[in-house]
Amino acid sequence: MSLYDTIQQSIEGKERDYVRISRDIWDHPELRFEENISSAKLADYIEQQGFEVERGIADIETAFSASFGSSGPTIAFLGEFDALSNLSQKAESPRQEAIEEGGSGHGCGHHMLGTSAMAAAIAARDYLVENNLEGTIQFFGCPGEEGGSGKTFMAREGVFDDIDVAICWHPWVHTQVWTSETLANYQVSFKFKGVSTHAASSPHLGRSALDAVELMNVGANYLREHVEDSARLHYAVTNTGGVSPNVVQAEAEVLYLMRDLTVEKAGAVYERVKKIAEGAALMTETELSIHFEKACSNYLRNNVLEEVMETQLKEIGGISYSADELEFAEQIQETLTEDEINHSSAQITGSYHRAGQEAPDSYGILCGDPAPYSKAVDLLPGSSDVGDVSQLAPTVQCLATCYAFGTQMHTWQTVTQGKTTYAAKGMIHAAKIMAQTAGALLDSPEKITAAKEEFDRRKNGRPYECPIPKGVTPSKLN
């Protein structure tokens, strides 16, 4: 059978399993590095499919690898399965209503992300076996992407050192070969310890940790004027020191996320923020302790792999939808603001312009037609720990339509659409794109060689240096 036919048969033959697994993971949203149920579902299934599974890799309980084969080029698929806090939401509801107040939910589609990547790995294995090709297929269960940089911890421990190519995807509001570079980041907590006292009768005896947090935040706000345009600073006060205004707060803590184009640039911003924290401690006579939580590298594109994936995407085509699917997606779209829809339009329209094509007047309710590919430089001012894998081996990604056009990630609208039939279509579509890309590379190993040559040129001799120092361990949210 042809590559197309083999992949179609493999994935569609197990489609019910994949939809069931993704929905089971949706039903059990687990936060970073606590994804015991989700990780086990994927690891157990792929083991049943004949892969050799190693659990608890990189000293992370919910990380695992699954391998088939032991020779030839190694093609790796990356899967995620962590949820987000405070995004509990009933499925397929056109209004915001939590299942559990304060509970977690899959607001970034990772219940589908890991499942689809696993499906692609199994289908690629099927093609390899059917055609007696040389190669090794690996699937990595990667926990803690949301605020945890699980892949970066895994990269630090050498998990990805022996792969030749990495393939992954992300649920989105349109379908496309991923063409964006991303920002590197550092996530660091700053904790201040002061002296409590009665705020009215003996204020001169107190040393306010909350004052230190506030002064640090003011200093960081002034710093924003004096960093490059590409830099980003975000913060969350995670401990205000209590709820009693007549007590001088003896403890307070703030969490900072600092981004820029490269690890080096993000690190330079971090060093300046650290000085601001030290200054705030000096001004308030409090003690400062710094807890390095995580970091990740910027994403390194690979045009050779992107062109291979674009060829497969064109062969597979777009996604069609039923009247019922369009009707529900329209109900979701009605809950979105004009600005949200315009934001998605600007993103996809930019893709058409970079490709030298005229953009359509409208992208509809569910955008099933793939957006065009372009080698032109594009920056997504966010971060992903896929960046660290891309700094170790040629990496390619795609987007697949799983949500009503205009839906923003990390929202209740994302969660509520996670079990729709059209979201499942996007998940299966992505699996086929990834699996066919792998099959095409197995058929033409010279493409892998070319991808690695491009990778070496882009790296320009710079060795990978993990931005997370030794001794820092993965941080759970709770």
Q: Specify the pLDDT at position 165.
A: 98
Cβ(270)–Cβ(193) below 8 Å: no
Q: Which stretches in the chain have pLDDT values below 50?
A: none
Q: Specify the pLDDT at position 339.
A: 97
Cβ(371)–Cβ(141) below 8 Å: no
Q: What count of Cα atoms within 13 Å lies in the side-chain half-sphere of residue 133? A: 24
Q: Specify the pLDDT at position 475.
A: 87
Residue 353: which domain range? Answer: 3-182+298-459
Cβ(398)–Cβ(177) below 8 Å: yes
- CB-based contacts of 404, cutoff 8 Å, min separation 6: 173, 329, 330, 332, 333, 336, 365, 366, 413, 417
Q: What is the CATH number of the domain that holds 58?
A: 3.40.630.10
Q: Is residue 446 part of a domain?
A: yes
Q: What is the CATH number of the domain that holds 287?
A: 3.30.70.360
Same domain, 337 and 407: yes
Same domain, 202 and 336: no
Same domain, 14 and 77: yes
Q: Is residue 466 part of a domain?
A: no
Burial of 68 (C-beta count, 10 Å sphere; 0-12/13-18/19+): buried
Strands (DSSP E) along 369-416, which ranges? 395-401
Same domain, 31 and 153: yes
Same domain, 176 and 249: no
Same domain, 108 and 51: yes
Total domains, the chain: 2
Same domain, 325 and 274: no
Structure tokens at 322: 């039923």
Sign (positive or negative) of CA dihedral 241, 242, 245, 249: negative
pTM (predicted TM-score): 0.95
Reported as a single tens digit per residue, the pLDDT across 192-249 is: 999 999 999 999 999 999 999 999 999 999 999 999 999 999 999 999 999 999 999 9
Q: Is residue 126 part of a domain?
A: yes
The last residue of one of the domains, among 246, 275, 296, is 296
Same domain, 152 and 11: yes
Q: Is residue 467 part of a domain?
A: no
Same domain, 231 and 363: no
Same domain, 85 and 130: yes
DSSP of 128-192, one letter per residue?
HHHTT---EEEEEE---HHHH-HHHHHHHTTTTTT-SEEEEEEEESS-EE---B--EEEEEEEEE
Cβ(226)–Cβ(323) below 8 Å: no
Q: Is residue 474 part of a domain?
A: no
The last residue of one of the domains, among 263, 296, 329, is 296
Order of strands, edge to edge, in the sheet holding 136-141?
Answer: 52-55, 64-68, 136-141, 74-79, 165-172, 395-401, 176-177
Same domain, 304 and 431: yes
